[in-house]
Chains A and B, each alone.
Chain A
């Protein structure tokens, strides 16, 4: 498979005037639904590192096309957001399939390494503030540039999530309660913006010097942007470090200070809680979607099967937030 993929990459890069032998092609541990490959192109006197991100065709109802992800990265990069440079984009009908090639960015994406390894200790100090700043910059993009993205109000997103949950015929008393609770919440009156949709450890590249790049735009859409702030505060993305509300590494105040230093709209902590519950519910529904791909026979994957038993993580997080003073 690697040999064949290497040939496809080589041809694609030739069309971008990058001519060289493909070496060290290896799969990386990526998301549950995309293939990620790292490789190098051997040029005359050096080699350049690249990443191939490739759709599997079974991404589920919330995901956008991989080639559209590339388009977003190109656009926000022009605005100064930290994203890898896109080198080449392939559509579904091309031999390489729905995918893109981007420059490799040095750093780490694996959450547990970033949270555990001594070399990132200093970077973590300021990371929540940096994330806040970066999220705010993304939210400043002109949404006219993203007419190809789904655009949803909070109310529409909520009812979409609820409808999706009901498709799986696995009634959850906690999700029913959550949906009723969410319908009553204030999510902030703010202009629609580009929402990353999955901003958290795992989807950002961190080095010893801090935040380097924002990747994995598969859940991007246009809507109320405060969603990105609540998402990274969900316990699902703290990787066991419950006490550090922001991504397992930072405090909410620092995230909001970073955000408010860039954004005209000033966010207060109260609104984040509603978004935390929203995000946790959303992650629960995404777990259902992923598991259903295995259950309905689209793909036989132990990874996807296992994720079905992570729905209970979101339920206990929600009851903790709603009834037990959790944060």
Chain B
């Protein structure tokens, strides 16, 4: 990257800090609720920039091993399941769906109760 510091994640964190420290207590209740959503959105973007590629590749690698195709992606997997071209009882398929779901929620909402249960 040719860009100066702060990097994109650092910029987002600065915005989030500003919203949290300076704005949160100044807005009426119905906007405070929306402000929390804004903070969540910024956090999703930060996590996706930092971890998204790794978590995504991790799933794609297993997916390509399972269906033995070098170029397959999520759409292909969805189609193979839809057309029942994969054995739905295959344990590796189930494991892949679990990993896909875990990796997605790790970006979207790492505090989600079900992820915590599965990680503990």
Contact = CB atoms under 8 A, between A and B. Distances in A.
Given A173-B78, A242-B113, A242-B114, A29 B33 contact: yes
A306 B41 contact: yes
Contact of A28 (B30, B77, B81): B30
A319 B78 CA distance: 15
Interface stretch (A213-221, A253-261, A269-277, A310-318): A310-318
Contacts of A324: 98, 118
The 10 closest A-B pairs by CB, nearest first: A171-B78, A312-B104, A316-B101, A176-B81, A242-B113, A309-B108, A315-B101, A173-B77, A312-B108, A176-B82
A181 B78 CA distance: 14
Name which of A175, A238, A318, A323 has the most chain B CB atoms within 10 A of its CB. Answer: A323
18 contacts: A29-B33, A173-B74, A173-B96, A174-B97, A176-B82, A177-B97, A180-B81, A180-B88, A240-B113, A306-B37, A312-B105, A313-B114, A316-B102, A316-B104, A316-B114, A317-B114, A319-B94, A319-B98
Contacts of B98: 319, 323-324
DSSP class of B's interface residues: helix, strand, loop or mixed?
Answer: helix
Q: How large is the interface on A (under 10, 10 to 19, 20 to 34, 35 or more residues)?
A: 35 or more
A172 B78 contact: yes
A229 to B, nearest CB: 20
Instruction: State which size class the interface on B falls in.
Output: 35 or more
B34 A173 contact: no
Interface in B4-63: 29-30, 33-34, 37-38, 40-41, 44
